[in-house]
Amino acid sequence: MVKAKIILPLAALCLVSCAQYKWTQVPMDGSRVGATIPSTDNVRETLGYIDNGVYTAPNGKEYVGMVADVAKIMLDAQPVMAPVKEYLGYADQDMIKDYPESSLSNMIVDCMMTATQQVTGRKVDIGLVNFGGIRVDIHKGDVIMDDIMSMLPFKNKLCYVALKGSDVRYMVEKMAATNMQVLGGVRIKIVNHRIESFLVGGEPLDDEKVYGLATCDFLLNGGDGIQAARNAQELIVSDKLVVDAVLPYVRNLTAQGKTISYETDGRVQIIND
């Protein structure tokens, strides 16, 4: 069985609500020709080859006509697809997006905080990203560029927002009453949709203090019902994308001989009686 990622064209998302669709992986049967998923250096072995209009499949069978035409399209696309097949590392366990926190979502928002601080030169205290922006999980095994790009496919830019603690509290209270999103730099407890405790950097949230928030431009003015730029004292929209915040972390782990992994830490606790 061959696994292939089915990615909905972004143009289609303009016609219908995003909430109705999701990115997912489905099994596909390649047994008829013996095709399997190619990497950058084994295209002939996994997809076969074409010579004088005749397609020789990996299982040795020869085809002409429509099958050969489709095979040619697939084979011609491989050089263009090579960058997304770059090997990035190995995940020693499944990293599954889960509510209200997960190893995957924690990794992404923490990477965003680090990258935003680096690119803006501002101190970042809190991270915020929406669960809906994380489209697929990381599964145990080899991780390639396509996995990370499919996980974070949107061209959302990293942003720095300076907010008073009272505005941070207002924003998170709205999320607590509806749907919490991914948070970093905090430890928060929500009971029956109300904030019971809220720590930032280990200290209680101070309504008068100005905090540095790392987020993405989608959440600045109403994306997923969040207005992160409301009453902003400073706003910086960078050119770096959210996906570009995660890639250095993954590559650095691999360079150190480590596997790709992350942990949950109880940063968001939700209790509903």
Answer whether residue 12 shows pLDDT above 80: no
- Angle, CA of 211, 111 and 184, to the nearest 5°: 45
| Complete DSSP assignment for 155-174 | -PEEEEEEEEHHHHHHHHHH
* Global model pTM greater than 0.85: no
Angle 267-148-162 (CA atoms, 0-180°, nearest 5)?
Answer: 45
Rounded average pLDDT over 225-247 = 97
Each residue of 197-222: pLDDT tens digit? 999 999 999 999 999 999 999 999 99
Locate 19 and state its tokens: 């909430």
Closest CA to 271 of 181, 196, 187: 196
- pLDDT tens across 134-149, in order? 999 999 999 999 999 9
Average pLDDT over residues 192-197: 96
pLDDT at residue number 37: 81
37-89 pLDDT, tens digit per residue, is: 888 889 999 999 999 999 999 999 999 999 999 999 999 999 999 899 999 99
Q: Which residue has the tokens 């109300």?
A: 194
What confidence tens digit (pLDDT) does each residue in 249-273 have? 999 999 999 999 999 999 999 999 8
Categorize the per-residue pLDDT at 4 as very low, low, confident or very high, splitting at 50, 70 and 90: very low
pLDDT at residue 116 is higher than 60: yes
Question: Tokens 């809906």 belong to which residue?
Answer: 132
Torsion angle of C-alpha atoms 79, 81, 86, 89, degrees rounded to 10: -150
pLDDT band for position 227 (cuts 50, 70, 90):
very high
182-184 and 157-164 strand pairing: unpaired
Q: What is the pLDDT of residue 11?
A: 40
| Average pLDDT estimate for 88-110 | 97
